[in-house]
Structure formats: C-alpha cells, structure tokens
Structure 1
Amino acid sequence: MAVARYTGFAQALHWLTVALLCLLLPFVWVAENFPPGPVRTLWYLLHESTGISVFLLILIRLTWRWRHPAPPANPRDGRLLRLLAGLNHGLLYAVLLMMPVTGYLMAGQGQPVPVFGLFSLPGFPRHEALGILANRLHVAGQFAVYGLVILHVAAVVWHVAIRRDGTLERMLPEQRP
C-alpha cells in the first residue's frame, strides 16, 4: 500500500529543524559552563543565531504548509488521534515561534543581536520588566518544547513499533526496493 507522503521540501525542512533543535540545547549548556568572556559569548552567539534560524525555518514551514497541505491522515486514525496530533503540532509550531522571540527580547536589551557574525538584529532600550518576563517565558517554553517533542517522538515510536502503519514513512523519502 502506497503511503501518502509530505513533499520532499517539507521533509527537508522538518529534518533540518530537528537537526537545529538538537544543537540549540548543547550550545546554551556549553555557554552556561564558561565564565563571562569571549568563549561564552561565542557559544551564546551560536545558540541565538541557531534559534533565529529555527524561527525563520518555522515561518518557511508554515508558509509551505499553507500552500501545500499535509497528506491525508491514515484512515485508521480516529478523530481523537487526529485531534491530538494536530494539537501537538500546533503547539510545537507556536512554542518554536515564541522561543526565538523571547530569546531576542532577552538578548537585544541595550545591544544588537549578531546572527552568525554575518549581520545583526537591532537592539532596543533596556527594559528590566520585559527582560524578566521574556526570561520566564523562555524557560517555560524550554520545558514545553521538551514535553511536546517527547510526545511527538513517543507517538512516532508507537506508530512504528505498535501500529506499524507507515506513519513515519510520511516524513521520509520514498524507499526503492
């Protein structure tokens, strides 16, 4: 039975987003373990620049998805399962858009925010209350990303190992025998 797949471009955007998300956390963990100075600044630059890249990728993904709808769901998936999957995807998109915005609101206070050293996003005047709120939202968003990604991966494992229904194949290139 042929599996309805996402477009190759949508697949590439998905896996590129996954790769960048896998880099974001180690970058900030490393940065946090260095004393203030140029090495710490470099790791934060990588974290912030990668976060901005994820933001742009999510905007591209949403635009692509708007123009190229997802393939039809597996007919075996009931209404509740489709609703839960859609909710998880929607929340992931929302949080992955929110995280770079709150990161920028933290990093851009009083200074420009360099992006991979190629250009800088403009800074803005310091605002302590905004910085505190952005930090709290960023930390909460971090845990939301963890939870939503764990649910997403757990659902994939369930589809692959238990249901064996080809759901993962929707996000993989077609395999030739």
Structure 2
Amino acid sequence: MFQRYTATAQLLHWITTAALFLMLPFVWVAENFPPGPIRVYWYFLHESFGITVFLLVIARLTWRFAHPPPALPESQPLALRALSAGTHWLLYAVLLVMPVTGYLMAGNGQPVPFFFVSLPGLPKNDPLGVVADTIHVYGQFAVYALVILHIAGTVWHVAVRRDGLLNRMLPPQRPEV
C-alpha cells in the first residue's frame, strides 16, 4: 500500500485544481465580449481566482516543505519519477509566474480587484506591462501543457498501470488494514 499525502496536502491540491479549472474559462469568456461591464466582470473573476491560485500555491509549497510528500515507490522507473518531479515543480513555477504577470498587467497604473477588496496596483509602466503580457500569454500554453501532462500521467497510472498511485492524493475509500 502506498503512503498517502497528508489530508491538508490533498485538500490544498483539490482546491487549487478547482480554482484553476474555474479561472481558465473566465478569461476565455471575457475575451469574447466587447469592452464593457460584462467583459470587466469576467476579468474580475479571472483576476480574483488567479490571486487565489497564487495564494493556494504559496500555501501548498509552505505545507510541502514542512511536510514532505511521500516518496514514490521504488517500483516506479527512475525516468517516471524524474518526469513526475519535473512536471510538479514546473507546475508550481508556472502557477506562481502566471498570477505575478497577471498582477503586473492588471495593476499597471490601477488597483487590482481581489473579490471585494482592491489591492494596490503599481505605478504605470507600459514596457513592464508589455513584458508581463507576453509572458502571461505564452505562459498559458505552459499551463495547458503541464496540466494535460499531469492528467495524462494520472490516467496512465489508473487505466494502464493500474498501480493505485492516484490513491496517494485521495482520502481512504475504505478502512486500511
């Protein structure tokens, strides 16, 4: 039987997943409206959830350093363990970079909405805004690729290897003996 992640790590993982999967469609919807209040509303949701994802990733990393995750079983090939570790760390990195660049874009000379609080923006700096926008636009493809790779790995462990590795990130389904 595999060691499981702590209940806190599991909870943070699934809340982050939910927030990420809510946040992405918000911007897709916003982009399909002309400038105006409806578009502003969808961007408001996207930005608020983006900051939420950032805070959740900080909490996850803090928890992870204080409570190291269970080691992958030695039965997992070294290449798979390296791919898993690399994917996880790249996901953490991109999920930190994206909200920072989004904040730099949204807060370029104006406050940034975070649900019903206005966070301070930065002084107007158009060159910084352009760089942040470029990183943010290209970064989305890194998010898509890494999330797809993470989900594909999960599906592979569940459907092909049938090794129960997914259970590490799920609460016990029946009493363990």
TM-score computed with the length of structure 1 as normaliser: 0.96
Provide the rounded CA distance (Å) in 1 between the counterparts of 2:160 and 2:42. 40
State the one-letter code of the partner of 2:7.
G
Q: Kindly report structure 1 stretches of 4+ aligned residues shifted beyond 6 Å.
A: none
1:32 maps to amino acid: E
Instruction: Give the match's secondary structure for 1:71.
Output: coil
Distance 1:80 1:29 in 2: 35
Unaligned runs of 5+ in 1: none
Moved more, 52-61 or 25-34: 25-34
Using the alignment, how far apart are the partners of 1:20 and 1:166 within structure 2? 26
* Cross-structure match for 1:136: 134
Secondary structure in 1 matching 2:108: coil
> Superposed, which structure 2 residues align to 1:83-94 within 5 Å?
83-94=82-93
The aligned counterpart of 2:31 is: 32
SS in structure 2 opposite 1:120? strand
Q: Secondary structure at the match of 2:76?
A: coil
**Residue type at the aligned position of 1:110:** G
Q: How many Å apart are 1:3 and its aligned residue?
A: 2.2
Q: Name the CA distance, whole Å, in 2 between partners of 1:50 and 1:102.
A: 14
The structure 1 residue matched to 2:160, chosen from 142, 157, 162, is 162
Alignment of 1:2-151 (within 5 A): 2-117=1-116, 119-151=117-149
Could you tell me how far 1:162 is from its partner in structure 2? 1.1
Provide the C-alpha distance between the structure 1 equivalents of 2:152 and 2:163, rounded to a whole number of angstroms.
15
Give 1:114 shift.
1.4
Distance 2:137 2:35 in 1: 21
Q: Deviations over 1:69-123 (max 9, x none)?
A: 1112122112221111101000000000000000000000110001112x22111
Residue 45 of structure 1: CA displacement? 0.6
* One-letter amino acid of the structure 2 residue matched with residue 52 of structure 1: I
**Unaligned 5+ residue runs, structure 2?**
none
Aligned-pair CA distance for 1:30: 1.2
Q: Distance in 1 between matches of 2:105 and 2:134?
A: 10
How far apart, CA to CA, are the structure 1 residues paired with 2:151 and 2:121? 36
